[in-house]
Amino acid sequence: MQIQTNVHEHVFTEFIIMEMIIMSRFMNSSSKSHKRVTEMSEREYIAYKKRREASLNARNIIIRFIFITAVAMILTISIKAITTFASSSAGVEQKYYKTVSIGYNDTLESIAESNYDPSHYSTAKDYLQEIMDINHLSADSAIGGGQIIYIPYYSEIH
């Protein structure tokens, strides 16, 4: 967020500097007229009015361009920051644990095979070993119907 603030301040500072340059040029060009408007002939006045209108139109176009560019830059930076933040947390999975009640015909192997996720474990035996480690079971341990064990699973971070 600090980078965005600095960019916004930089764009705003550039906008102010450009505005000051434009205003100083406008003030200098208008002070160069040798005659007052009341001393001008009709032809001179019409030419003066056209020059002044063209100068104001050019100034307004430049100001609009700078404003639109600044807004576009701010929007681009904001959208980029939002999409970067959203994509950095999307698809990230975390390990969780859930309880499973052992059925009377279930074995640790059958539970491991039915809950095995190949994207996180290389083999079902690796998953079985983790289940045994979590529940402090050994290969000789017997499990019975109605017993509750913990098994790991992965899910996206919410």
The residue range of the domain holding 143 is 93-156
Inter-residue contact 77 to 7 (CB < 8 Å): yes
Give the pTM: 0.44
Asked if residue 62 and residue 14 are part of one domain, the reply reads: yes
Inter-residue contact 96 to 151 (CB < 8 Å): no
Number of domains forming the structure of the chain:
2
20-to-14, 23, 32 alpha-carbon distances in Å: 10, 5, 19
Return per-residue pLDDT of the chain as tens, 158 residues.
444 445 556 656 666 676 667 666 655 554 454 567 677 788 888 888 888 898 888 899 999 999 999 999 999 998 888 877 766 666 678 899 999 999 888 888 999 999 999 988 999 899 999 999 999 998 888 888 899 999 999 988 75
Inter-residue contact 122 to 75 (CB < 8 Å): no
From 58, 89, 120, give the residue that closes a domain. 89
- List the end-to-end C-alpha distance of the chain, in Å, as a whole number: 22
CA atoms of 133 and 139, how far apart (whole Å): 10
